Amino acid sequence: MFIKIFNLLSILSGLSLLIYSVYSWNDDSENNHITIQILMLSMFLFGGIENVINKQRKMKSMGLLYLAAAIVGALVLMYKY
Protein backbone atom coordinates (compact mmCIF):
# COMPACT_ATOMS: atom_id res chain seq x y z
CA MET A 1 0.00 0.00 0.00
CA PHE A 2 2.71 2.50 1.00
CA ILE A 3 4.89 1.48 -1.93
CA LYS A 4 2.14 2.40 -4.37
CA ILE A 5 1.61 5.77 -2.69
CA PHE A 6 5.30 6.68 -2.92
CA ASN A 7 5.41 5.34 -6.48
CA LEU A 8 2.51 7.63 -7.41
CA LEU A 9 4.14 10.61 -5.66
CA SER A 10 7.47 10.05 -7.44
CA ILE A 11 5.72 9.79 -10.81
CA LEU A 12 3.69 12.95 -10.13
CA SER A 13 6.77 14.91 -9.07
CA GLY A 14 8.64 13.67 -12.16
CA LEU A 15 5.80 14.71 -14.45
CA SER A 16 5.49 18.10 -12.78
CA LEU A 17 9.27 18.55 -13.16
CA LEU A 18 9.00 17.77 -16.86
CA ILE A 19 6.02 20.08 -17.40
CA TYR A 20 7.56 22.92 -15.40
CA SER A 21 10.87 22.58 -17.26
CA VAL A 22 9.11 22.84 -20.62
CA TYR A 23 6.96 25.74 -19.37
CA SER A 24 9.92 27.77 -18.13
CA TRP A 25 12.38 26.90 -20.90
CA ASN A 26 13.93 30.36 -21.41
CA ASP A 27 13.46 31.61 -17.85
CA ASP A 28 16.83 31.91 -16.10
CA SER A 29 15.66 33.38 -12.80
CA GLU A 30 16.67 32.20 -9.34
CA ASN A 31 13.09 31.18 -8.50
CA ASN A 32 13.05 28.91 -11.53
CA HIS A 33 16.22 27.11 -10.39
CA ILE A 34 14.91 26.70 -6.85
CA THR A 35 11.59 25.26 -8.07
CA ILE A 36 13.27 22.81 -10.42
CA GLN A 37 15.69 21.66 -7.71
CA ILE A 38 12.87 21.19 -5.18
CA LEU A 39 10.88 19.12 -7.69
CA MET A 40 13.96 17.02 -8.44
CA LEU A 41 14.63 16.51 -4.71
CA SER A 42 11.04 15.41 -4.14
CA MET A 43 11.34 12.93 -7.00
CA PHE A 44 14.55 11.46 -5.51
CA LEU A 45 13.07 11.45 -2.01
CA PHE A 46 9.84 9.65 -2.94
CA GLY A 47 11.69 7.20 -5.21
CA GLY A 48 14.20 6.48 -2.45
CA ILE A 49 11.52 5.88 0.16
CA GLU A 50 9.66 3.63 -2.27
CA ASN A 51 12.77 1.52 -2.89
CA VAL A 52 13.78 1.36 0.79
CA ILE A 53 10.33 0.04 1.73
CA ASN A 54 10.61 -2.58 -1.03
CA LYS A 55 11.42 -6.13 0.07
CA GLN A 56 14.21 -6.80 -2.45
CA ARG A 57 17.75 -6.22 -1.20
CA LYS A 58 18.97 -4.75 -4.50
CA MET A 59 16.16 -2.20 -4.49
CA LYS A 60 16.93 -1.17 -0.90
CA SER A 61 20.50 -0.25 -1.80
CA MET A 62 19.24 1.76 -4.78
CA GLY A 63 16.78 3.50 -2.49
CA LEU A 64 19.55 4.44 -0.09
CA LEU A 65 21.49 5.91 -3.03
CA TYR A 66 18.42 7.95 -4.02
CA LEU A 67 18.03 9.19 -0.45
CA ALA A 68 21.73 10.10 -0.29
CA ALA A 69 21.38 12.05 -3.55
CA ALA A 70 18.35 13.85 -2.13
CA ILE A 71 20.24 14.78 1.04
CA VAL A 72 23.24 16.06 -0.94
CA GLY A 73 20.92 18.02 -3.21
CA ALA A 74 19.13 19.53 -0.23
CA LEU A 75 22.45 20.58 1.33
CA VAL A 76 23.55 22.18 -1.94
CA LEU A 77 20.19 23.94 -2.22
CA MET A 78 20.44 25.31 1.31
CA TYR A 79 24.07 26.36 0.84
CA LYS A 80 23.52 27.98 -2.54
CA TYR A 81 20.34 29.88 -1.73
pLDDT tens over the chain, length 81 residues: 778 898 899 999 999 999 998 988 888 888 888 999 999 999 999 999 999 988 888 888 899 999 999 999 999 988 987
AA identity, residue 59: M
DSSP annotation of 20 reads H
Separation of alpha carbons 34 and 76, rounded Å: 11
Separation of alpha carbons 64 and 20, rounded Å: 27
CA proximity to 43, closest of 3, 1, 20, 11: 11
How many domains in the chain? Answer: 1
Domain that holds residue 19: 2-80
